[in-house]
């Protein structure tokens, strides 16, 4: 009971810090100055700790106190795992690669096909309970060094301990060539996870699952190989975010392969415009609804599609009375794009899907202009692709 209460408090504080739609746009110049203020990391321990410090920039000072308090007791709670000897578990596979699934994000349509060509068979699993894990010799030495360097960073050491314990579990249960995480770019432990994997002869790999903007939480990452959708990201990751990937590999995910130019000859549409929501403030929702009213008065049908996880349905239903609110659990994204003339958003991955499919994409520079101009500094990839602006669409009414 207490454990669940603690996890709920932690989750609420963390989500509020990272996903705060009402927070003003960040000063990207100050962000970049902060990232550049770090010296060149001497090793993977420093790089991991720098990444951790970048993550903390999202939160007020008391957040660090709270998570270190909980981190200390979390270490005590799992202290038996620290002293558990590795189990003698028979190997279940002989080659291939292991994908660690994220319970909230499917990976099938973004998994790089090159993984199978390089490593062979695919095996996947979910994260185990920490109580079922242990530390192998490499992970144990790594954790000891971390405690030695950062003895009072209890939360940092707890998360590192948790990730290393699970990594030891994977390595002991699966004799594979590579361990692949489907969503791991925000986790600050990636440099040391890469170190521990490579020391035991494994590749530590991850791949892109959505569009990226300049973001503290993405700084100082490291993987043996990182698969990306566009060369645009290489300079962003290396220069602006100071990542140090072993190598990049560019690929087109399956979800884009199957829709390339799919909509280009589709001229019959149900909606003039569909707005694809992601993380919207109240101000933006109101202004989008106002634009919809302008289109409606000209006889155009409008549709808004909420994000399945991040949208506030109560606000959406209030502001978009009289317009179609598409259910993302009933209408799949390809059907949605097919039914609209203009796919519109501020910065949604849907714009990329529409672009690959041959649709005309519209970037919202109207509802919150400051966020639009901030996208330029944050290296939003779709601004480099053919597009029109929402203000131009309104002007042509």
Rounded mean pLDDT of 226-248? 94
Q: Which long-range contacts (CB under 8 A, 24 or more apart) does 31-38 make?
A: 31/214, 31/216, 32/214, 32/240, 34/216, 35/216, 35/219, 35/240, 35/241, 35/242, 36/242, 38/220, 38/242
pLDDT band at 308; cut points 50, 70, 90: confident
Average pLDDT, stretch 318-345? 94
Q: Are 50 and 38 within 8 A, CB to CB?
A: yes
CB 352 within 8 A of CB 317: no
- For the chain, domain boundaries: 2-254, 271-395
CATH number at 271-395: 3.40.50.2000
Beta bridge partner(s), residue 207:
227
Query: pLDDT per residue over 341-368, tens digit each?
Result: 999 999 888 999 999 999 999 999 999 9
Report residue 361: phi and psi, to 5°.
Answer: -100, 150
Burial pattern 251-274, b for ≥16 Cβ within 10 A else e, equals bebebbeebeebbeeeeebebbbb
CA 224 remoteness from chain centre: 18
Q: CA 139 to CA 193: how far, in whole Å?
A: 9
The tokens for 374 are: 């901030």
Give 125-137 pLDDT, tens digit per residue: 999 999 999 999 9
In the beta sheet, which residues pair with residue 228?
250
The arithmetic mean of pLDDT across residues 25-49, rounded, is 93
Residue range 251-256: mean pLDDT, rounded? 93
Check if the beta carbon of residue 180 is closer than 8 Å to that of residue 205: yes
């Amino acid at each position: 009971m207490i454990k669940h209460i603690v996890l709920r408090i932690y989750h609420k504080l963390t989500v509020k810090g990272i996903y705060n739609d009402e927070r003003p746009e960040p000063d990207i110049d100050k962000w970049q100055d902060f990232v550049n203020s770090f010296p060149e990391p001497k090793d993977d321990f420093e790089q991991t700790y720098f990444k951790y410090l970048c993550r903390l920039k999202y939160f007020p000072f008391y957040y660090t106190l709270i998570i270190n308090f909980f981190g200390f007791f979390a270490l005590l709670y799992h202290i038996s795992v620290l002293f558990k000897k590795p189990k003698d578990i028979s190997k279940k596979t002989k080659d291939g690669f292991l994908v660690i699934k994220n319970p909230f994000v499917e990976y099938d349509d973004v998994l790089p096909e090159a993984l199978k060509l390089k490593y062979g068979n695919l095996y996947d699993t979910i994260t185990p309970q920490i109580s079922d894990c242990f530390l192998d010799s490499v992970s144990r030495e790594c954790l000891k060094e971390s405690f030695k360097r950062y003895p009072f960073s209890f939360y940092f050491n707890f998360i590192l301990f948790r990730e290393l314990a699970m990594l030891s579990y994977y390595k002991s249960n699966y004799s594979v060539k590579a361990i692949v995480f489907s969503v791991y770019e925000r986790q600050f432990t990636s440099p040391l996870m890469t170190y521990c994997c490579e020391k035991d002869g494994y590749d530590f790999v991850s791949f892109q699952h959505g569009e990226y903007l300049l973001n503290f939480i993405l700084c100082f990452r490291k993987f043996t190989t990182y698969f990306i959708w566009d060369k645009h990201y290489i300079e962003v990751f290396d220069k602006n975010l100071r990542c140090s990937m072993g190598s990049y590999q560019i690929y087109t995910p399956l979800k884009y392969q199957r829709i390339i130019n799919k909509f280009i000859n589709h001229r019959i549409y149900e909606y003039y415009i569909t707005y694809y929501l992601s993380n919207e403030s109240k101000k933006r929702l109101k202004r989008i609804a106002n634009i919809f009213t302008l289109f409606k008065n000209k006889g155009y049908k409008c549709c808004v599609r909420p994000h399945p996880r991040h949208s506030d349905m109560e606000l959406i239903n209030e502001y978009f009375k009289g317009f179609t609110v598409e259910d993302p659990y009933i209408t799949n994204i390809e059907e949605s794009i097919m039914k609209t003339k203009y796919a519109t958003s501020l910065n949604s991955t849907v714009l990329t899907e529409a672009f690959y499919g041959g649709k005309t994409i519209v970037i919202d520079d109207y509802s919150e202009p400051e966020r639009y101009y901030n996208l330029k500094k944050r290296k939003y990839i779709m601004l480099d692709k053919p597009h029109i602006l929402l203000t131009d669409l309104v002007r042509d009414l």
